[in-house]
Structure 1
Amino acid sequence: MSDEITLTGIRAFGYHGVYAHERREGQEFIADVVLSLSTRAAAVSDDVLDTVHYGELAEQVAAILAGEPANLLETVAERIAHAALAWPIVDAVAVTLHKPSAPIEVPFGDVSVTIRRTREPA
């Protein structure tokens, strides 16, 4: 059994997309990140060093959203998952990346991609 830390609605302006106008004009992207980990040591010690500092992780996620452009949401989500798994305490992560202003020709509320990744065995 594992615990979860959830960050919802991390927003940043980025330039991801397959179309030239998306790369030129940019748009807002939103990420939700769910970490699977044990928080037992942190609960006992009451020390942020025994868990994931979610403020620092949120800054990393925002930097990825605003950072190097990618064609696909899948690529950006993978970068976020990699950053989350860099925290040694994290066993698995689910990343949902939203693109609410995607260039879709019919009315829609949101488009998102969700990926799930686990730590690779050593």
Structure 2
Amino acid sequence: MLSVRLNNMKFHGHIGVYPEEKKIGQDLEIDVALQTKVDVQQIHDDLTQTISYGAVYRQIQKIVSTSRVDLVETLATDIMNAVKATYAEQVTHVTVRIRKLNTPIDGIMDNVEIEVQG
């Protein structure tokens, strides 16, 4: 079995419940972990036998750049479902974590993080 992780990807997204969040946008950090069916004994240094993390990154980048959803949970679920659909033959499980760095909360914190799995 092979695990593929893309850690701490940084994007600027226009999601949020409040109109200001969608207009101005906000910085997001995203981690994605894929559990695969890939047999590492069969890869033989051939990209077609594994999952291209570059392609996964570009897919996530496109989703974040076009999304205008209200909830970060929805964005995470959209990413999870898209990756699972694209790699249905190779992936058994996907975990998506999103950290929203600039939350409209009157308080001091580094970020808010959500996680979805499926």
Corresponding residue of 2:26: 27
Superposed displacement of residue 64, structure 1: 1.3
Corresponding residue of 1:48: 47
For 1:91 and 1:52, the matched residues in 2 are separated by: 13
Superposed displacement of residue 13, structure 1: 1.1
Superposed displacement of residue 52, structure 1: 0.9
TM-score, normalised with respect to structure 2: 0.90
State the identity as a percent. Answer: 27
Structure 2 gaps of 5+ residues are: none
The number of residue pairs the alignment matches comes to: 116
Q: 1:20 to 1:42 in 2, by over 3 A?
A: farther
4+ long deviations beyond 6 Å: none
What secondary structure is seen at the aligned counterpart in 2 of 1:24?
helix
Corresponding residue of 2:16: 17
Superposed displacement of residue 20, structure 1: 0.8
Corresponding residue of 1:103: 104
Structure 1 gaps of 5+ residues are: 118-122
For 1:67 and 1:42, the matched residues in 2 are separated by: 38
For 1:5 and 1:79, the matched residues in 2 are separated by: 19
TM-score, normalised with respect to structure 1: 0.88
